[in-house]
Amino acid sequence: MSHTSFILIVDDNPTNLSVLAQTLRSEGFAIRIAPDGVSALQQLEEVYSSVALILLDVQMPGIDGFETCRRLKANPQTHDIPVIFMTALADTESKVKGLSLGAVDYITKPFEGEEVLARIRIHLQMRELTKQLQKSSTLLEQRVTERTSALQSAQVQLVQQEKFATIGQLIAGVAHEINNPVGCIVNNVAPAHEYLNSLINIFHLYQKHYPDPAPEIEQALINEDIDFVLKDLAKLIESVQVSALRIKDISVTLRSFSRNDSTTKVLADIHEGIDSTLLILQHRLKASGKRPAIQVIKQYGDLPQIKCYPGLLNQVLMNLLANAIEALEEGMENQQEFIPQINIHTQVSNTSTPCITIQIADNGIGMSEQIKQRLFEPLFTTKPADKGTGLGLSIARQIIEDKHNGRLTCSSQLGRGTEFIISLPI
């Protein structure tokens, strides 16, 4: 028994108290005394954590031992303290009643000192063993929880690496395949334009030196509206050139977005990453059927370049923006006059640790508090099985917090939209 703990004796008989007190003190036990159930309960309110065991008389004035025991076991602070009844009632019914109320044993009066000590020692040992088992069980549960969390984290990291590698290879492959035909178009547009100008010059010379063509040629020129054809052909070639250069820019954006630089941090422009992600998602932002176009409102602050893993950050931006689009699409199903918006705001936050913040907010359906609490749990998703794995936000948080020592938080109200905030140290 601990030096700070004691045995509480509850009995209204002074002789019994004296005998028990002397017996226990002679064996080195610390004790306290209560003359009835009420005073025992009052004492326990203050010192319950130090009580190792209670010796409780059954027949007492006021509330008897049975009622005292019932109240002890009903109180979460005292319910696990072992109670040994002391009584002259040797009938089976009384013993069954006491044990059913939670007592661990009975001592029959008159007392035998050795028997009392033996029973007390047994139950003190049993309580100590129980505490050790509970402690071991708690430690085991903690280790299981920690191991499970570590395994989940490792699984998420593997999925994230595999997913990003696959996406990166796919996008890089598409960009590479686009480059060849686009390069061919871009390189051939300029000479095609020169050839057209040469043909137009020659045609004009013919018109100058042969103003009276044969009737067949004159009719063909009228039928084909050759002046319009020559002007429009020049415009078509210019349009092809603009489109080819646009595709070339998209290819560069795709390669920038899919950068496989997850092993070394490099200086990068955050706004470039946001813009490239929006470009890739452009087809989902446009109007579709009855759905109006999604407005993207950008409020960019003056951000310095920061050392980061740009490819991984782009993956986070893609996930958050795609989620915002889905929330807006779902919100538009039930609202006729609804202007869907995504607000992107960036700034430098001059806190104790200077950082940049990226706020991505939508005016979609929002989410309940219950969903928000589980939002970053691995494998948690509110989407159908064929539309979501429940890993996107978990991976996003891991990229921001583990890879970049930043922070990813979310605020949302049901029916009023959602905002994600990324904080990255400068």
pLDDT at 159 over 70: no
pLDDT for position 141: 79
Q: Tell me if residue 340 falls in helix, strand or coil.
A: coil
* Predicted confidence band of residue 218 (pLDDT cuts 50, 70, 90): confident
For the chain, the straight-line distance linking the first and the last C-alpha, in angstroms and rounded, comes to 57
In this structure, CATH architecture of domain 6-111: 3-Layer(aba) Sandwich (3.40)
Asked whether 226 and 233 are in contact (CB, 8 A), the reply is no
pLDDT for position 170: 64
pLDDT for position 421: 95
Which amino acid belongs to residue 128? E
Q: Which residues contact 19 (CB under 8 A, 6 or more apart)?
A: 111, 113
Hey, which residues does 413 pair with through a beta bridge?
Answer: 417
- 110: preceding bond cis by omega (within 30 degrees): yes
pTM value is: 0.50
* Predicted confidence band of residue 144 (pLDDT cuts 50, 70, 90): confident
What's the mean pLDDT in 412-417?
87
What's the mean pLDDT in 363-387?
79
Instruction: Give the DSSP per-residue string, 16-54.
Output: HHHHHHHHHHHTT--EEEESSHHHHHHHHHHHGGGEEEE
| DSSP H or E segment with residue 221 | helix 215-224
Residue with tokens 């018109």: 207
pLDDT for position 157: 63
Measured CA to CA, the distance from residue 163 to residue 267 in angstroms comes to 24
pLDDT at 33 over 70: yes
The tens digit of pLDDT for each residue in 84-137 reads: 988 877 667 777 888 888 888 888 888 788 888 988 888 888 888 888 887 877
Hey, which residues does 424 pair with through a beta bridge?
Answer: 356
Report the relative pairing of strands 355-362 and 341-349 from DSSP bridges.
Answer: antiparallel
pLDDT at 303 over 90: yes
Residue with tokens 């913040």: 357
The tens digit of pLDDT for each residue in 311-350 reads: 888 889 988 998 899 888 887 766 667 889 999 999 998 7
pLDDT for position 100: 87
Asked whether 323 and 392 are in contact (CB, 8 A), the reply is yes
* Predicted confidence band of residue 163 (pLDDT cuts 50, 70, 90): low
| DSSP H or E segment with residue 100 | helix 92-100
pLDDT for position 137: 75
Closest CA to 280 of 296, 262, 300: 296
Residues making up the chain, counted from first to last: 426
CATH number of the domain located at residue range(s) 259-425 in this protein: 3.30.565.10
Per the model's pLDDT, the better-predicted residue between 98 and 163 turns out to be 98
Asked whether 186 and 238 are in contact (CB, 8 A), the reply is no
Q: Tell me if residue 118 falls in helix, strand or coil.
A: helix
Task: Label residue 390 left, alpha or beta by phi (over 0 means left) and psi (-120 to 50 means alpha).
Answer: left
Any idea where the domains of the chain sit in the sequence?
A: 6-111, 151-256, 259-425
The tens digit of pLDDT for each residue in 378-414 reads: 777 776 655 555 677 888 888 899 889 999 999 998 8
Look up residue 127 and give its two tokens: 């309580």
The tens digit of pLDDT for each residue in 232-261 reads: 888 888 888 877 777 777 776 666 665 555
DSSP 8-state secondary structure symbol assigned to residue 364:
S
What's the mean pLDDT in 136-162?
70
Closest CA to 127 of 186, 83, 175, 77: 83
Q: Tell me if residue 62 falls in helix, strand or coil.
A: coil
Q: Is 286 exposed, middle or buried (0-12, 13-18, 19+ CB in 10 A)?
A: exposed
pLDDT for position 296: 95
Measured CA to CA, the distance from residue 7 to residue 54 in angstroms comes to 6
Measured CA to CA, the distance from residue 398 to residue 149 in angstroms comes to 13
Asked whether 66 and 97 are in contact (CB, 8 A), the reply is yes
